[in-house]
């Protein structure tokens, strides 16, 4: 049986993504880390098979995605939709925000 969650084959990729957080991801992580969100533990750059989720809470089965410029365009949107459907097949729920949402609309995260 293959390992689907945080497979070691994708460890280097997850570490690289952790080292290169966008500004919006860094802002969100400041508020999700250390169980600051109602005591729930979130993980950064958690993988489900080959797909990496920005933030994941195992207890809630909740993925939080911060979409930057690379997520716009027909092919990117199609990839994101397929990726999200695959991850949701494991019972994981999604919340998506854009960089703009984090910068301009989520004042409680600043």
* Domain locations in the chain as residue ranges: 8-109
CATH class of 8-109: alpha beta
Q: Give the H or E element holding residue 107.
A: none
Q: How far is Cα 90 from Cα 39, in angstroms, rounded to an integer? A: 23
What is the distance between the alpha carbons of residues 78 and 1, in angstroms, rounded to a whole number? 29
The stretches of the chain forming alpha helices (DSSP H) are 11-19, 23-32, 74-88, 99-100
- pTM value is 0.85
pLDDT tens, residue order, the chain (110 aa): 468 999 999 999 999 999 988 899 999 999 999 999 899 999 999 999 999 999 999 999 999 999 876 656 667 889 999 999 999 999 999 999 988 888 887 655 44
Dig out the tokens for 20 from the structure.
């290169």
């Amino acid at each position: 049986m293959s390992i689907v969650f945080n497979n070691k084959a994708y460890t280097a990729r997850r570490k690289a993504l952790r080292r290169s957080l966008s500004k919006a991801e860094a802002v969100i992580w400041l508020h999700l880390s250390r169980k600051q969100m109602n005591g729930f533990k979130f993980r950064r750059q958690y993988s489900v098979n080959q797909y990496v989720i920005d933030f994941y809470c195992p207890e809630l089965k909740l993925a939080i995605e911060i979409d930057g410029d690379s997520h716009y365009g027909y092919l990117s949107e199609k990839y994101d939709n397929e990726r999200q459907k695959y991850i949701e097949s494991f019972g994981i729920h999604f919340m998506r925000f854009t960089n703009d949402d984090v910068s301009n609309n989520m004042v409680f995260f600043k």
